[in-house]
């Protein structure tokens, strides 16, 4: 299926995975909106990605801001064909030492934010009788790392949300998927180069390629879930 002229929102699109997927969508001819909390980072990404990108400051945990974002998309484009739920955060801490505020913050961004964006997108997509949503999960949502309870729980929850939304969307021509990356070559590995070298990193371009593959399926086909990781990463057998 051609993605040319499709309207796509990428949350957390100012850097990393989000920016890489936005770049891949642009290459396919999509009209792309990136959002995030950091206006400076969004403007820098917009400069790098080109004039066909629109940026919107939005905290995905703020219901009003999310609603306003989708209202703006409808006002400007009259539709929303693709949502990439990428905004996320992590917090390393042992569960018995983790502050409740930290727990709530991670769950709020990774799960509640994804729900709010998906809810607003589906309202539009149901009227269109078409649309695709990709939630960016993690292999930590299948096999946890130590000191990673909040992030792991949020990504397991995102898997459940994906399945629920896919079930509710299928009668309306809406495909909902989850993409589980392993280690990705982003700035998160600064200061942890030894781990990155040992386990390997996925080039950001390959995340973009996989997202495009998932989005380009025939209208009646959905890749419900996908896992992408370096061959050298200890995922199989790490549990």
Q: What is the CATH number of the domain that holds 128?
A: 3.40.50.720
**Residue 172 has what pLDDT?**
97
* 46-60, 82-96, 181-195: least confident range: 181-195
Look at residue 233 and tell me if it is in a domain.
no
Contacts of 155 (CB under 8 A, 6+ apart): 110, 137, 138, 140, 141, 180
Can you give the pLDDT at residue 12? 97
Are 45 and 13 contacting, i.e. CB atoms less than 8 angstroms apart?
Answer: yes
Give the residue numbers spanning the domain of 126.
7-228
192 has a pLDDT exceeding 90: no
Residue 31 counted as domain residue: yes
- Would you say residue 238 lies in a domain? no
**Cβ–Cβ < 8 Å for 176, 164:** no
pLDDT at position 239, please?
46
pLDDT at residue 237 in the model: 64
Q: Considering the domain boundaries, does residue 181 fall inside one?
A: yes
Residue 187 domain-assigned (yes or no) = yes
Q: Which three-class secondary structure string do you get for the chain? A: CCCCCCEEEEECCCCHHHHHHHHHHHHCCCEEEEEECCHHHHHHHHHHHCCCEEEEECCCCCHHHHHHHHHHHHHHHCCCCEEEECCCCCCCECHHHCCHHHHHHHHHHHHHHHHHHHHHHHHHHHHHCCEEEEEECCHHHCCCCCCEHHHHHHHHHHHHHHHHHHHHHHHHCEEEEEEEECCECCHHHCCCHHHHHHHCCECHHHHHHHHHHHHCCCCCCCCCEEEECCCCCCCCCCC
How many angstroms separate the CA atoms of 8 and 126, rounded? 16
235 falls within a domain:
no
Tell me: pLDDT of 25 over 70. yes
Q: What is the pLDDT of residue 189?
A: 79
125: burial class by Cβ within 10 Å (0-12, 13-18, 19+)? buried
| 27 pLDDT higher than 70 | yes
Question: pLDDT tier at 169 (50, 70, 90 boundaries)?
Answer: very high
- On whether residue 130 sits in a domain, the answer given is yes
2 is written with which tokens? Answer: 């051609």
Q: How many domains does the chain have?
A: 1
Find the mean pLDDT for residues 54-61. 97
Chain centroid to CA 191: 24
Residues in the chain: 239
Residue 156 scores a pLDDT above 70: yes
The active-site residue, picked from 77, 100, 151, 235, is: 151
Q: Which of 68-77, 87-96, 141-150, 187-196 has the lowest mean pLDDT?
A: 187-196
Q: Which residue has the higher pLDDT, 136 or 1?
A: 136
Strand partners, 39: none
Average pLDDT over residues 209-232: 96
User: Quick check: 195 pLDDT over 90?
Assistant: no
Is residue 151 annotated as a catalytic residue, yes or no?
yes
Query: Is residue 210 assigned to a domain?
Result: yes
Average pLDDT taken over every residue of the chain: 94
């Amino acid at each position: 299926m051609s993605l040319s002229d499709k309207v796509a929102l990428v949350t957390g699109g100012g850097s990393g995975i989000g920016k890489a997927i936005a770049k891949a969508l642009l290459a396919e001819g999509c009209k792309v909106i990136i959002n995030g909390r950091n206006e400076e980072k969004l403007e820098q990404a917009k400069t790098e990605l080109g004039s066909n990108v629109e940026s919107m400051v939005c905290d995905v945990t703020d219901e009003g801001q999310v609603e306003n974002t989708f209202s703006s998309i409808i006002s400007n484009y009259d539709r929303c064909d693709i949502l990439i739920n990428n905004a996320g955060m992590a917090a390393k801490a042992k569960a018995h030492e983790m502050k409740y505020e930290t727990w709530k913050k991670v769950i709020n961004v990774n799960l509640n934010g994804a729900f709010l964006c998906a809810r607003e997108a589906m309202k539009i997509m149901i009227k269109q009788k078409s649309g695709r949503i990709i939630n960016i999960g993690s292999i930590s949502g299948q096999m946890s790392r130590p000191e990673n309870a909040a992030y792991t729980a949020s990504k397991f929850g995102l898997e459940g949300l994906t399945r629920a939304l896919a079930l509710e969307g299928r009668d309306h021509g809406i495909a909902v998927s989850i993409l589980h990356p392993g280690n990705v070559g982003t700035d998160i590995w600064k200061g942890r180069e030894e781990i990155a070298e040992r386990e390997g990193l996925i080039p950001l371009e390959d995340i973009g390629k996989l997202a495009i593959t998932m989005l380009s399926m025939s209208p009646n086909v959905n890749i419900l879930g996908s896992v992408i990781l370096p061959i050298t990463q200890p995922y199989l057998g790490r549990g």
